[in-house]
Amino acid sequence: MKDLEIRLKNSPGALAAMGEALAAAGVSIEGGGAWTFAESGIAHFLFEDGGKARLALESVGIEVIQENEILVQRLKQDIPGQLGMITRLMQQAGVNIETLYSDHANQLILVVDDYENGKLVSDQWSKSHNNNGGI
């Protein structure tokens, strides 16, 4: 799985064009979201095949800013504070979380500035919290 950071126009139909390009290439979105800032939009979407998604988007003129490795966690929803705990552990390890969202399976998706250290934190979290969901 890969996260793609995508620049979109802040105009009606920009997301529709993105969705149509992906559909034409047979690519499904596994999670993500989009936000506007000033005159453009920034989207982060999760794909099983990031390369195929990139090609589909770029073929219709949609800019893919970068392709990101991801960390995946399943937080225990019945225990308050899970998000604060794992993000504090990332901070204590010197890892900055650049993007955070949920996928369609209700898993936490993180894009971090230091993947190797972030993965160490994520793996330790999985072991100590018996989540069996860290990647």
Model confidence pLDDT, tens digit, residues 81-135: 999 999 999 999 999 999 999 999 999 999 999 999 999 999 999 998 864 544 4
Q: Is 26 exposed, middle or buried (0-12, 13-18, 19+ CB in 10 A)?
A: exposed
Query: Do 87 and 38 lie in a common domain?
Result: no
Q: How far apart are the first and last CA of the chain?
A: 10
115 is a domain residue: yes
**Single-letter residue type at 72:** V
Residue 80: its pLDDT value, please?
92
Query: Do 58 and 93 lie in a common domain?
Result: no
Query: Do 88 and 105 lie in a common domain?
Result: yes
Please count the structural domains in the chain: 2
Helix (H, G, I), strand (E, B) or coil at 124: helix
Q: What is the pLDDT of residues 55-73, one digit of tens each?
A: 999 999 999 999 999 999 9
Report the CATH number at residue 39.
Answer: 3.30.2130.10
Query: Do 46 and 99 lie in a common domain?
Result: no
Query: Do 53 and 103 lie in a common domain?
Result: no
Residue 114: its pLDDT value, please?
97
Helix (H, G, I), strand (E, B) or coil at 21: helix
134 is a domain residue: no
- Degrees, nearest 5: CA angle 106-38-29: 30
118: domain range?
74-129
Share of the chain above pLDDT 90, in %: 84
> Which residues have CB under 8 Å from 62's CB, separation 6+?
6, 7, 8, 17, 18, 21
E strand or H helix at 2: strand 2-9
